[in-house]
Structure 1
């Protein structure tokens, strides 16, 4: 039996393209083809970085929702609650707090729990248009996964979580990752864009020509 492909999945909970990539990787993992390791890659850490990138918080929301429309066309579904987010009374959130939550879930429950937390937070953000920059939203997700919310919040703000985020940042730097989703395959190959299931299967087969996926 051929060994699984090891994929490091770099993502941010606010990223619509990551929202498309995650279920594709889940399908490959369920089929036993890949083993997924999760890496945080926060696009903008706060309102200041959001303003530097987009000019203003208002422009940030407008431009990012245009990206949501592109994501929806690419996927061919209606999973993106564009109008709900447009009408939401908060600025477009940073993914930093969600990344800390995902790392806390990983520390407390492992890689699969990181993934479950990440996917649920993305649903809160992209389907329900809730504010994932608010701690209450993230603790609600943690509670759904069975965590004690006091312990979970303490873990989110721990030195171990900060060290995990820094380790992921350095890993991204090593491979010159500048956008997400990005995937490192077998510690060697970088896939730097959202890739549909059939295309990713073919790509993996090319990376290991002797294997048959």
Structure 2
């Protein structure tokens, strides 16, 4: 069984889905998660126009970070943002870095890098557009750092991100998180662990969702 996970490092809802999906998939041997990039902030220029200063950008991000308090009551977005490291941050650089990790260690490498990058951003208040932050993540997860340095700003990494996004849009996916089950059934938005587990159990047992009704992506 394959689950294709469309996501963005900067997406708080993806953060929640990622935590839940990692926990659930660890209980199964026959579920492979494929990772695809989808930019929620696709233009640095547009962000700078909307928020001219780094302080303005942090104010803009406040509502995004506050989303996590719905799922993690002890989370303090102010504490994270007050570190002052997050300013004009957009989606492409960390997603290209995820692709560079994927070039080395496949989907598992992508997933490990993505998870650590999200923790750096949402929990540690680090600027995931900063080269040194991105390189430090590569070091932490045991990548070949010299190769990573060549790859994470390469044309190949950028093209891989663009191709993922074009694939998503061709299927009618306009936002993330989105999970595509066996290249057919589409799950949108944040779902509970019980919901995701039920879908996996049904597909592994019956070859299709049973207890939870899902539509094919072309029907949505």
TM-score by length of 2: 0.82
**Structure 2: distance between partners of 1:152 and 1:182:** 27
Tell me which of 34, 38, 43 is aligned to 2:35. Answer: 38
Greater shift in the superposed pair: 154-163 or 10-19:
154-163
Q: Deviations 1:148-169 (Å, cap 9, x if unpaired)?
A: 3232121112233233112201
**Structure 1: distance between partners of 2:32 and 2:75:** 26
Q: Given that residues 117 and 145 in structure 1 are in contact (C-alpha distance below 8 angstroms), is that contact kept between their aligned partners in structure 2?
A: yes
Q: Given that residues 151 and 157 in structure 2 are in contact (C-alpha distance below 8 angstroms), is that contact kept between their aligned partners in structure 1?
A: yes
Tell me which of 122, 128, 148 is aligned to 2:124. Answer: 128
Matches for 1:1-213 after TM superposition, within 5 Å: 4=1, 6-32=2-28, 34-51=31-48, 55-57=50-52, 60-73=57-70, 75-79=71-75, 81-204=77-200, 205=202, 207-209=208-210
Aligned length: 204
Q: CA deviation at 1:23?
A: 1.6
3-state DSSP class of the match of 2:25?
helix
Greater shift in the superposed pair: 129-138 or 201-210:
201-210
| Unaligned 5+ runs, structure 2 | 212-220
Q: CA deviation at 1:46?
A: 3.7
Q: Deviations 1:58-109 (Å, cap 9, x if unpaired)?
A: 5553243223222221x13434543321441441411211101100000111
Q: CA deviation at 1:12?
A: 0.8
**Structure 1: distance between partners of 2:82 and 2:137:** 22
Distance 1:34 1:179, change over 3 A: same
Greater shift in the superposed pair: 32-41 or 130-139:
32-41
Q: Given that residues 25 and 36 in structure 1 are in contact (C-alpha distance below 8 angstroms), is that contact kept between their aligned partners in structure 2?
A: no
| Unaligned 5+ runs, structure 1 | none
Greater shift in the superposed pair: 99-108 or 19-28:
19-28
TM-score by length of 1: 0.85
Q: CA deviation at 1:138?
A: 0.4
**Structure 1: distance between partners of 2:26 and 2:35:** 16
Q: Given that residues 179 and 187 in structure 2 are in contact (C-alpha distance below 8 angstroms), is that contact kept between their aligned partners in structure 1?
A: yes
